[in-house]
């Protein structure tokens, strides 16, 4: 099975890039299932029902999220009726929505998508390592699973690397999000799990991690920003990975980073 995963979609620029390129990327690479992280899709902060519809129409099959999921108030009600939109599985008990789901591709093959969030330098959630162990135990009786994908939305690279090793041999892929910068460490770990510390973002890289440069430069220079933080609106680069699993197991065969359009895609 071939799975495409795209990092954090940042604002209008990121959404427009998906509308422009995603169907072609899926077709050209014979993608069986597409996952995108949408937590920054609404002006850089959160996601809405309308935007979820746009992402599905653009070619996404499932949407993962992270710490900005709840920035748009409407999402709390919407997420309860859309099981393709995932919250971090280790969110506090009672949080609406689901943190994983079992999907089927058009070829009727089974894929499990799991969303986790880190605790280092982030607002504290339940321990992602113990929660994923609970979930893996719960899923062990699932039959004929062809792919298990984990989006680990975390700030610290060490926490992400640790999660990759923690799940090595138990899932097909662990790919990080949140930092918005694609890392150069895509690999297959010793147990057959594909790993990359951060997929990067789908946004304008002539920016500071997707946001307009000037207000952020003002703050770093010690000045009061004159304008609020808003997404940069130049041409976005679509960043992510394509992971292929073996036909007879959910071990990873390959992981290939992709960059399409914008500054990084040149």
Task: Give a yes or no: residue 120 inside a domain.
Answer: yes
Task: Give the pTM.
Answer: 0.97
- By residue range, what is the domain housing residue 101? 2-203+236-260
Distance of alpha carbon 113 from alpha carbon 102, whole angstroms = 7
Sorted by sequence, the CB contacts under 8 Å of residue 227 that are 6+ apart come out as: 212, 214, 215
Distance of alpha carbon 212 from alpha carbon 236, whole angstroms = 13
Question: Which residues are catalytically annotated?
Answer: 68
Task: Give a yes or no: residue 222 inside a domain.
Answer: no
Task: Give a yes or no: residue 231 inside a domain.
Answer: no
* Number of domains composing the chain: 1
CATH number at residue 82: 3.60.21.10
Task: Give a yes or no: residue 143 inside a domain.
Answer: yes
Task: Give a yes or no: residue 142 inside a domain.
Answer: yes
Kindly give the pairing relationship between strand 145-153 and strand 110-117. Answer: parallel
Task: Give a yes or no: residue 210 inside a domain.
Answer: no
pLDDT by residue, tens only, the chain of 266 residues = 999 999 999 999 999 999 999 999 999 999 999 999 999 999 999 999 999 999 999 999 999 999 999 999 999 999 999 999 999 999 999 999 999 999 999 999 999 999 999 999 999 899 999 999 999 999 999 999 999 999 999 999 999 999 999 999 999 999 999 999 999 999 999 999 999 999 999 999 999 999 999 999 999 999 987 778 899 999 999 999 999 999 988 999 999 999 999 999 87
Q: What is the dihedral of CA 202, 97, 165, 122, to 10 degrees?
A: 70
Distance of alpha carbon 182 from alpha carbon 79, whole angstroms = 28
């Amino acid at each position: 099975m071939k799975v495409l995963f795209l990092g954090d979609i940042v604002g209008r620029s990121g959404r427009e890039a998906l509308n422009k390129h995603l169907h072609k990327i899926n077709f050209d690479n014979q993608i069986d299932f597409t996952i995108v992280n949408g937590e920054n899709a609404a002006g850089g902060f959160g996601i809405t029902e309308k935007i979820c519809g746009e992402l599905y129409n653009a070619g996404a099959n499932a949407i993962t999220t992270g710490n900005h999921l709840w920035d748009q108030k409407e999402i709390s009600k919407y997420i309860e009726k859309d099981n393709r939109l995932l919250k971090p599985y280790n969110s506090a008990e009672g949080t609406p929505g689901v943190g994983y789901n079992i999907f089927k591709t058009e070829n009727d093959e089974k894929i499990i998508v799991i969303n986790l969030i880190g605790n280092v330098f982030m607002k504290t959630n339940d321990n992602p390592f113990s929660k994923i162990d609970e979930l893996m135990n719960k899923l062990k009786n699932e039959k004929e699973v062809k792919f298990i994908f984990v989006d680990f939305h975390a700030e610290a690279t060490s926490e992400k690397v640790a999660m990759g090793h923690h799940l090595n041999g138990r899932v097909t892929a662990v790919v990080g999000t949140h930092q918005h910068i694609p890392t150069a460490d895509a690999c297959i770990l010793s147990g057959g799990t594909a790993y990359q510390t951060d997929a990067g973002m789908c946004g304008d890289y002539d920016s500071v991690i997707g946001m307009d440069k000037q207000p952020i430069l003002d703050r770093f220079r010690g000045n009061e920003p004159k304008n609020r933080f808003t997404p940069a609106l130049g041409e976005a680069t679509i960043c992510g990975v394509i992971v292929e699993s073996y036909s007879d197991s959910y071990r990873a065969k390959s992981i290939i980073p992709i960059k399409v359009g914008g500054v990084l895609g040149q």
